[in-house]
Amino acid sequence: MEDKRAQWGSKLGFVLAAAGSAVGLGNIWKFPGKAFEGGGGAFLLLYLIIVPLVGMPAMLSELSIGRASQSNVVDAFGKLGHRGYTWVGWVSWLSAFIITSYYSHVGGWVLRYAVAYATQSQTVYADPLGYFYRMLGYDPVAESTSFPLVAIVFAAVFIAVCALIIIRGVEGGIERFNKIGMPALFVLLLILLVRAVTLPGSAEGLRYLFSLDLSKLSFQTLLTALSQAFYSLSLGMSIMVTYGSYLPSSEDMPKNTLLVCVMDTLVAMIAGFIIIPAVFATLGPEGVGKGGGFAFVSLAGVFQQMPGGAVFGLLFYLLLLFAALTSTISLIEGIVVFLTERYHWKRTPTTVCVCAILFLIGCLYTCSQAAYPIHGVWFDFANGLSFPAFGDAMEFLTDRVMIPIAALGSCIFVGWTWKPSAAIDEIQRDGIRFRLTKTFSFLIRFLVPAVILVIFAVSMFTGTTLS
């Protein structure tokens, strides 16, 4: 006899958990930087077209695979009678594994910054870049390197907290945590939004976000917007398959999908409207950086020049911490549930072991940032064989190869093998009304796979980063 699968305790629980997974580091530091590069308004517009046309059908498909199969991601395809697609599950599972190992370390850095703003904001202000590098084990003044103890210790704490929440289980842990964390995140965002748009000099940033410079609409911008949407909505990693499998059949999946996508997009937009005007106001347009440096270094200048900056700094990193926690939890949950179901391992020791392994792999990521010359191997047709930093190689592998392949696999599965009609039957079980059946079938059979294929091919041939 199989154990009864866990289910969400309430409708809100699922929506918040799925939104919690989607809303992560991607929304808050990746999105604003990309919106800036992509020309502000032009990028926002593209993103707003892509989410409903590509992101929503892909998410709905993943949720229906999960609910119909009532299974973890690796076994889901076999349970639906198509063992031939099991590899899609493996690719998703593995990319979740690799992503979590570094994502959780970045979560640790965020925790470090929350503590830093609470206790020593002046030290951060004095030398923002130096502070960031020192955390990672590199002293730019002495030009010496050392073991990045601070970053590693905070990463360990971050992962331990995630493990504790996961051990409590779906309803007790994840759901309860999200019920507090997600609304808190929204409130924090709104406070920061008000603060940012009322800073003197922020108007120029707002103008940039509302301007529609069509000459900025290039193929590259399209590509960036597409990949950002996939990453941000947690697609192609089968998180949504796992979460869908906990959904009772009375749930309206299209409505839930809509809610999650709207929340995720809203958070990304608000983050853009916080960060870009704030940086314009304090550092000028040259100050808008991206990636890790943006969230950790450039923003120090913003907080320093705000009245009550340390408090806003602390709030900001707490917010990022919530976002990172809920996303990491969703990733670990997907990894653990497969191991407990397939191999009948116990949940608690499995979670502890998985987290320990993730932490150790992540140490290589953190160490390769600045402290030690640890390299990975990478190949693309534009640059041939190269040996980027180990951390970069991990991100290339997942973002450029594994996510697109898994996402393509599951939408081809729904579009052509399992058939959209089977997904629609699952969606409409228990008499749920779904009016867009024709649109859904068209998108999932033609538009979504074509788009993913193009992203994948272009990124392999031009070496473009996907996230």
**Contact set with ligand PHE (CB under 6 A):** 21-22, 24-27, 231-232, 234, 237, 239, 327, 330-331
CB proximity list for 183: less than 8 A, separation 6 or greater: none
Q: What angle do CA 461, 94, 363 make, to 5 degrees?
A: 95
Q: Which is nearer to ligand PHE, 27 or 256 (CB)?
A: 27
DSSP secondary structure letter of residue 3: P
CA distance linking residue 5 with residue 79, whole number of Å: 15
Q: Which is nearer to ligand PHE, 124 or 235 (CB)?
A: 235
Q: Which is nearer to ligand PHE, 237 or 288 (CB)?
A: 237
Q: Considering Cα of 255, then 256, then 257, then 258, what sign does the dihedral take?
A: positive
| Shortest separation between residue 330's beta carbon and ligand PHE, angstroms | 5
Contact assessment for residue 389 and residue 372, using Cβ atoms and an 8 Å cutoff:
no
Q: Which is nearer to ligand PHE, 321 or 424 (CB)?
A: 321
Q: Which is nearer to ligand PHE, 25 or 278 (CB)?
A: 25
| Shortest separation between residue 30's beta carbon and ligand PHE, angstroms | 7
| Shortest separation between residue 182's beta carbon and ligand PHE, angstroms | 14
DSSP H or E run through 139: strand 138-139
Residue 86: burial class (beta carbons within 10 Å; 0-12, 13-18, 19+): middle
CA distance linking residue 3 with residue 253, whole number of Å: 24
CA distance linking residue 193 with residue 31, whole number of Å: 15
Q: Beta-strand (E) ranges in 164-312?
A: none
Q: Which is nearer to ligand PHE, 61 or 330 (CB)?
A: 330
| Shortest separation between residue 438's beta carbon and ligand PHE, angstroms | 29
| Shortest separation between residue 260's beta carbon and ligand PHE, angstroms | 11
| Shortest separation between residue 48's beta carbon and ligand PHE, angstroms | 17
CA distance linking residue 12 with residue 355, whole number of Å: 27
